Chain A
Amino acid sequence: MKTKYIIGIVAVAIFAALAIFSFDSSKIEYASFPEAKDKAKVVQVIGSWDQTEGQEYNSEANTFSFSMVDELGNKARVVSTGSKPNNFDVAPMVVIKGKFEGNDFHASNILTKCPSKYEGEFEELEGTQLYKN
């Protein structure tokens, strides 16, 4: 019985170490644009689409590009393969994953918040036609 326990504990320890190592080596850090440029590896950046710069889907090259402002206010051009994510325009926040190539951030993945989860802002209410009972 004792040996079984020892074998079990050793197996669990090895498994835990392996799992922690795998996750630790696969984790992707969040960074601001300047940090992402310095690190020159795959990172995630949180920010929002800068509407003043527009966005573009190029169907010949199948690339979608837009300008993004990170949480610290740094701007960069983001280029990704594929079309625009379905709720890109209404998402208050985007998370992109990728790395810098030259001055463009090449995103392998653009994450926009699930559409069902936004809460209303007062500004939206202000914009609706209102009447009183």
Chain B
Amino acid sequence: MFGKILIILTVLFGLLSTILYLVSYKKDHLRKLGRIFYYLMTAGIVGASIYLLANILGHNFQFTYIWEYSSTELQNYFLVASFYSGQQGSFMLWMIVLAIVGLFLINGTKNNGYESLAMGFFTSIIFYIALILIFKSPFDYVWETFSGEGLEAGFMPANGRGLNPILQNYWITIHPPILFIGYSMMAVPFVLALAALIKKEYKTWIDILMPWALSGTAILGLGIMLGGFWAYETLGWGGFWAWDPVENSSLIPWMIAVALVHTLMVQRRTGGLIKTNLILGMLSFIFVVYATFLTRSGILGDTSVHSFVTPGAIVYTMLIFFQITYLGLGIFYIAYRFKDINKYLSKTTIKDFSKEYSLTLGSILILAMAAIVIMGTSWPAVAELFGQQKVAIEISVYDKFGTVFAIVFLLINGFSLYQKWMIGNLKDVFGKIILPFIASALLVVLLAFMGLDSFNFILLTFAAVFSLLTNLEFLIRNLAKNPKKLGPYLSHFGVAFLILGTVASGGYEATQQIRLTENQTKSAFGYDFTFIGKNRIEQEFKDREKYRYNVSIKKGNEEKVVGPIIYWSDFNEWKSPFLEPGVFVKVEKDIYLAPKAVEAAHTSPEAYLRKAESTLVPIDSSLRISITGFDFDQVSGVRGNTAVIGTILKTQFADESSRADTLYSMLDVTTWESQPNWYQIPDTEVEISMIRLVRDMNDVQNTKAHLVFKKAGMPEPEPMEIFTFDVTIKPFINLVWLGTILIVVGFLLPISKYTAKGRKNNITQE
């Protein structure tokens, strides 16, 4: 009840703050009151969050949300992560991050006349999310959620369902919060653009926006890429980007924001692109809302791995209204002020073949790529709306378009560095780019001899190298002069590295499967791989059995032991193992070990028999055995599905007499293997066990029983494990991470140039 009251208060304070703020645009004395209610709303959100967190830490499973996503086995930092593991909690996280971003925004707008409008619209976003949380509350009790089931009030489940072991990794405490900070910061260009439209200040607003646009883009980009790194490094998805609809829906706002940063620069230097900036400023947030809708409405349920389940009709409708509200506001005000903006348009339009011309062209290309991603991501949903058949999109389309666009904008980027603002100096530029152009061409020819083979990759590599060389030249030139000016060069360095890394690691990876028993060595890609044994980790937990499979990777004097992880967990009732890759990170490549399977190999004498086949017993050739049939008796075991199977055995003695026996085995029906269950055939010295059924999917009659034998009374031979894993060589994958870091740093570096203080100093310099 307490939590729900706090949410209701948040909604009310949010509504009051929104109204007071918007009214205070004309009646300034109400602005302080609007701010006070904003603080009260923030207090409500913080209170509700603390209350939820306290209940998570206190394992209060009476709350359905906590029962669904938390459990007593989780360590503290995963308990914190279970706060936002589900729909409701991640809305809470979004709300709290928005509220904090809003505090900074108050600070940035209270002295320049933007507070009333910007904060009014900003608070309305928080109000909206809080409203959704009334209908989809993290504070529902289990007896309310399952009200039809006759649970009594006060009912307490003994334990929660817990957090999927796949997600139990420190990244879950890093990636989602950073992403939400990025999402929340995208709201700032939107509210500032709306405020600017209402105030008819189409020029000054971008000065307030610039630091926000740079930092928001940097943080959102970082959040997206950390998700990619997480997927690569521990989830074992093999890659860092799969063009999955949910990945895409976070990339779209980022691409629009990147274009916005460029068009803002054009407006700052030339006065052009006024309308473009107003529209892009709003679009980046509109697509954040769209991403929220796509991921949380369940509409992508069948096409995306990350999509939430349908939240229910009320929330679905609210999410649609959430979108329509902000899209409608944007369209309305742009249309309303369209004529007015035209009056303000400066005489300086974009000069042909000048620097701003190239920047605009580059932005158009980024937006065109964004349009492709929007289309591909929305296609399945739109097809469904129009009553078409359900479809999915082949991701190769993104690669095709992405390749073409990347080539063009890398070339434009290199070219633009030599251009001047407001002057088209084409001849001059051509003279200057000849050298880096030839150098790039030579390097790519060299790479082509070294194995760079596809035409697309050759062009892409050429463009990336060209961009690298030109940016390097300007980086060196400006290094001594003004470090704050290095941002763009570093970011474009990053883009070129990211693209080179993607080409190399994606286009030239090679995989080989290796099966090893303990202390066995096999070679692949010039390295010797030895399985040196396993060791159990995280033994303090009773809900899992986790093993590190240590593999030594050796080449000459260089040796490294990596440990892919295979573990079993209560989470899926030990039905199948969870797998984590092990990575040998080298400068020029990663050697990526993805575990595939572990099987028991038996060293006992063995035989494979089909029904009605016979064979001589390997340890006693006076006996001949055959299988006359199987006796199935399905039972469900404690851990997953096991079935008791009887193998009906006929033993023929040397004197032609025979006897029938039944061997019972507890088979795991997912692997069809069984622990040996030795049975001594009476009147003989032979013990026998059926340890595996080798099934033929196409012909059940072809199923073979795997039998093992030992002398009666002899100890059982130690079973050996065969560890199967894939070795993948990922050339230059580190360029991807390095590129990302450089892009982010490049965005953050010039921020101080655009803050109020920095602007004053800059005016004197420029």
Real binding pair: yes
Q: What residues of chain A have their CB less than 8 Å away from a CB belonging to chain B?
A: 15, 19-20, 22-23, 26-30, 44, 46, 51, 54-57, 59-60, 62, 65, 77, 79, 82-84, 86-90, 93, 95, 97, 103-104, 111-120, 122, 124-125, 128-133
A-B contact pairs, 26 of them (CB 8 A): A22-B401, A27-B383, A28-B391, A29-B389, A29-B390, A30-B389, A30-B390, A56-B695, A57-B596, A60-B515, A62-B513, A62-B724, A77-B697, A86-B236, A86-B578, A89-B573, A89-B576, A90-B571, A114-B307, A115-B167, A118-B309, A119-B309, A130-B157, A130-B158, A132-B152, A133-B154
Query: Contact between B303 and A95 (Cβ–Cβ < 8 Å)?
Result: yes
Please state if A26 and B579 are interface contacts (CB–CB under 8 Å): no
Q: In the complex the two chains form, is A120's CB within 8 Å of B161's CB?
A: yes
Say yes or no: B695 contacts A19, CB within 8 Å: no
Residue of A nearest to B722 (CB): A59
Q: When chains A and B are docked, how far (Å) is the Cα of A133 from the Cα of B324?
A: 45
Residues of B within 8 A of A133 (CB): 62, 154-156
B397 x A22 contact (CB < 8 A): yes
Interchain residue pairs A-B with the least CB separation, the first 8? A115-B164, A30-B390, A26-B394, A89-B575, A129-B158, A27-B391, A114-B306, A120-B68
Contact call A51/B641, Cβ cutoff below 8 A: yes
Is B669 an interface residue when CB atoms closer than 8 A count as contact?
yes
Judging by beta carbons under 8 Å apart, are B156 and A132 in contact? yes
How many angstroms from the CA of A124 to the CA of B572 in the assembled complex? 12
> Which of B367-375, B437-445, B458-466 touches A?
B367-375
Minimal beta-carbon separation of B264 from chain A (angstroms): 21
On whether the beta carbons of A119 and B157 are closer than 8 Å, the reply is: no
Q: Given the complex of chains A and B, what is the CA–CA distance between A128 and B159 in angstroms?
A: 7
Report whether B302 and A119 are in contact in the complex, using a CB–CB cutoff of 8 Å.
Answer: no
- In chain A, what residue has the closest Cβ to B146? A122
Bound form: Cα–Cα A22–B515 in Å = 41
Bound CA span A85–B85, Å: 21
B residues contacting A by CB (< 8 A) are 62, 64, 67-69, 85-87, 142, 146, 149, 152, 154-159, 161, 163-164, 166-167, 235-236, 246, 301-309, 368, 371-372, 375-376, 379, 383, 389-394, 396-397, 400-401, 513, 515, 571-573, 575-576, 578-579, 596-597, 599, 640-641, 669-672, 695, 697-698, 722, 724
Set of chain B residues within 8 Å of A122, measured between Cβ atoms: 146, 149
**Within the complex, what minimum Cβ distance (angstroms) separates B176 from chain A?**
10
Whether A54 pairs with B669 at a CB distance below 8 angstroms is yes
Distance of A44 Cα from B599 Cα, bound (Å): 31
- Shortest Cβ gap from B198 to chain A (Å): 28
A19 in complex: contacting residue of B149, B375, B392, B672, CB < 8 Å: B375
Q: Which residues of A contact B670 (CB under 8 A)?
A: 54-56, 89
**A28-B391, A30-B391, A54-B670 are known contacts. Are A120 and B67 too (CB-CB below 8 A)?**
yes
Q: How far apart sit A120 and B157, CA to CA, in the bound complex (Å)? A: 12
Most central of A30, A87, A117 by chain B CB within 10 Å: A117
Q: Which residue of A lies closest to B62 (CB)?
A: A133
Chain B proximity of A121: nearest CB distance (Å): 9
What distance in Å separates the Cβ of A95 from its nearest Cβ neighbour in chain B? 6
Please give the distance in Å from A56's CB to the nearest CB on chain B.
Answer: 7
Using Cβ atoms and an 8 Å threshold, which residues of chain B touch A128?
A: 157-159
CB neighbours of B86 from chain A (8 A): 116-117, 119
Given A28-B394, A44-B392, 19 additional A-B pairs, CB 8 A: A19-B401, A20-B375, A27-B383, A28-B391, A28-B392, A51-B641, A54-B670, A59-B597, A62-B596, A79-B697, A86-B578, A104-B698, A111-B305, A114-B246, A115-B166, A116-B86, A117-B306, A128-B158, A130-B156
- In angstroms, Cα B146 to Cα A97, docked, is 36
**A97 contacts B576, CB within 8 Å?**
no
Taking a contact as CB atoms under 8 Å apart, the answer to whether A29 and B391 are in contact is yes
Q: Tell me which residues across on chain A come within 8 A of B575, comparing CB atoms.
A: 89-90
- How many Å from the CB of A75 to the closest CB on chain B? 13
Q: Is the CB of A19 within 8 A of B372?
A: yes
A83 and B597 contacting across the interface, CB-CB below 8 Å: yes
- Residue numbers in A under 8 Å from B724 (CB-CB): 59, 62
Known A54-B672, A129-B158; judge A23-B392 contact (CB<8 A).
no
CB contact between B307 and one of A115, A117, A124 (< 8 Å): that residue:
A117
Known: A22-B401, A30-B389, A133-B156. A86 touches B166 (CB 8 A): yes
Question: A89 contacts which chain B residues (CB < 8 A)?
Answer: 572-573, 575-576, 640, 670
| Contact present for A97 and B392 (CB under 8 Å) | yes
Q: Given A26-B394, A29-B389, A132-B152, are A65 and B157 also a contact pair (CB < 8 Å)?
A: no
Is B146 a contact partner of A125 (Cβ separation < 8 A)?
A: yes
Most chain A CB within 10 A, of B166, B305, B389, B640, is at B305
Distance in angstroms between the alpha carbons of A93 and B302 in the assembled complex: 9
Across the two chains, which residue of chain A brings its CB closest to B352? A4
Which chain A residues lie closer than 8 Å to B379 at the CB level?
23, 27
